[in-house]
Structure 1
């Protein structure tokens, strides 16, 4: 009986996963398997893949300066493939617990008041898709993909709420006679990302000046049945940052929103639900940062010892 190659096992595992995982997750798995796992293991037989072989694989990948997130994804995928291989093809056990991926904290940029004013000045002098997106991110904490997925029907002008029901992204197309990739609407990031976000009244007043007549089923940014391309919005934002001498990503607007809410004493549990987080600790650990100005203000409360008072 001909031995099944490890790469064949990996592809078999992937095809089974396709039956029940999200399209975006499948594309992620497929990219990692095709670009990293298959090229490395193509020369190996099942019986000569050892712990040392796996460890060498990860050492090489670390030298490629891949992100810790990508390395962790590789570890999870490879471990799952191996578990499938053990159960169905008698592969030898590999100790994946010995593989440690160092996760470096991400540096999150919080806009200064000066930079926030640059955004506001732009919005006041421009009424376009970018200006709408800037307001929804800066005063609602919405993600870029969530903004591109908004239809007019998702805006509740009476109660001043935005209903988040999806996220727009460009992914590989599996439809025949289609382009290699296409922009599609996926479910939100998690079940808690389905949410109602209260938006300040001035933002809704501004949006009313954007389009006077609209169709409920049209997308907000494009005001048509076409999804506004997320990469186009990202490109426009990068150009804006270049023109206005800003150094930040679009997602930094979400970080800034969360931090400003804390500064304005918005209750943390409420803020966590608005951001669509599964628990409060995510909000505190990843999105709320104390500004240097606030640190200096707090430290100034320390009384000077009498020995230092002349």
Structure 2
């Protein structure tokens, strides 16, 4: 490999080198970004000719016209994900002493327009959902309650086995997640059961007593059975999302995405004064408290009203 090596050769060499050191889902994501975005733009460029200015121009292009369906630009988050793969590949070439190190501090990104609003169920909508689940209680609907009262992600819920549930300690141990991973090069997909999203996503979550009583109804002694299926094979997130969507529609409930059940748990927790943000962050499996505050800190207007009304005592 030299400075005259084409970018597509570099990125494929880097991917092959990186494969053993990252999770299958991360590898699949890197390949998808490479094939969909980087190779079409930089593929035939000699890596020694790629400059900070080229990267900056590429970001502008992605922001204005980066969508694959040709309907506009990508979000800033997606642009950052794409440029991260570009940067890692180029830094690999630098470490191999092929090209000079680019100054990535010079790279700028478009400004986000406003804060992304957290979508969650209102208290009334949440109560309607809970009552409907009680009237139609089975292990699949009980899974909705588990997420609603613990905030676990859908992949973590699909990966929950009997051996991860302690009825005596009243806890669940989150130690894996179920994902369907798409192999861009082969054009196929497969189910992968692996570690949770991040190191902090591996966690033990205490359960409310009433939730334990519901889990007991569907618990069995086979440690390898998955909770949602009662069998040794899990359901995959895509299938469970479809079940959840049909359940909401069948019972005329608020139409939300399953991940918004996790948001609902977090928003309800923030509304409880005694529920400290450190505990919430660890239960959600966030990397730090500041991340939790950034996502949910502005989600609760009613809590702000309560706080501001405390100033009435000064008047």
How high is the TM-score relative to the length of structure 1? 0.87
Deviates more, 1:133-142 or 1:41-50: 41-50
Residues 75, 96 of structure 1: 8 Å contact kept: no
Aligned equivalent of 2:288, options 271, 279, 283: 279
Report the alpha carbon displacement of residue 197 of structure 1 after superposing the two structures with TM. Answer: 0.6
Rounded to whole Å, the distance in 2 between the matches of 1:297 and 1:266 is 16
Residues 6, 44 of structure 2: 8 Å contact kept: no
User: Cα distance 1:49–1:292, how it changes in 2: closer, same or farther (>3 A)?
Assistant: closer
Residues 129, 253 of structure 2: 8 Å contact kept: no
Rounded to whole Å, the distance in 2 between the matches of 1:46 and 1:190 is 32
Do structure 1's residue 207 and structure 2's residue 215 form an aligned pair? yes
Tell me how large the CA RMSD over aligned residues is.
2.7
* Structure 2 residue runs without a partner (length 5+): 67-72
Deviations 1:227-271 (A, max 9, x none): 111101112222334443414322222222122223221233222
Residues 234, 250 of structure 1: 8 Å contact kept: yes
1:9 alignment partner in structure 2? 10
Do structure 1's residue 192 and structure 2's residue 193 form an aligned pair? no
Matches within 5 A, 1:127-138: 127-138=137-148
Query: Number of residues paired by the alignment?
Result: 302
- Matched residue SS, 1:107: coil
2:240 alignment partner in structure 1? 233
Rounded to whole Å, the distance in 2 between the matches of 1:4 and 1:217 is 50
Residues 145, 230 of structure 1: 8 Å contact kept: yes
Residues 259, 289 of structure 1: 8 Å contact kept: no
Report the alpha carbon displacement of residue 218 of structure 1 after superposing the two structures with TM. Answer: 0.8
Deviations 1:156-204 (A, max 9, x none): 1111111111111111369x9xx92122211112222221111111112
Rounded to whole Å, the distance in 1 between the matches of 2:283 and 2:228 is 21
Do structure 1's residue 23 and structure 2's residue 32 form an aligned pair? no
User: Cα distance 1:209–1:127, how it changes in 2: closer, same or farther (>3 A)?
Assistant: same
Report the alpha carbon displacement of residue 72 of structure 1 after superposing the two structures with TM. Answer: 1.0
Residues 241, 247 of structure 1: 8 Å contact kept: yes
User: Cα distance 1:245–1:132, how it changes in 2: closer, same or farther (>3 A)?
Assistant: closer
Do structure 1's residue 248 and structure 2's residue 249 form an aligned pair? no
Aligned equivalent of 1:161, options 144, 157, 171: 171
Deviates more, 1:45-54 or 1:150-159: 45-54
Report the alpha carbon displacement of residue 33 of structure 1 after superposing the two structures with TM. Answer: 0.7
* Structure 1 residue runs without a partner (length 5+): none
- Matched residue SS, 1:18: helix
How high is the TM-score relative to the length of structure 2? 0.85
2:37 alignment partner in structure 1? 36
Residues 173, 204 of structure 2: 8 Å contact kept: yes
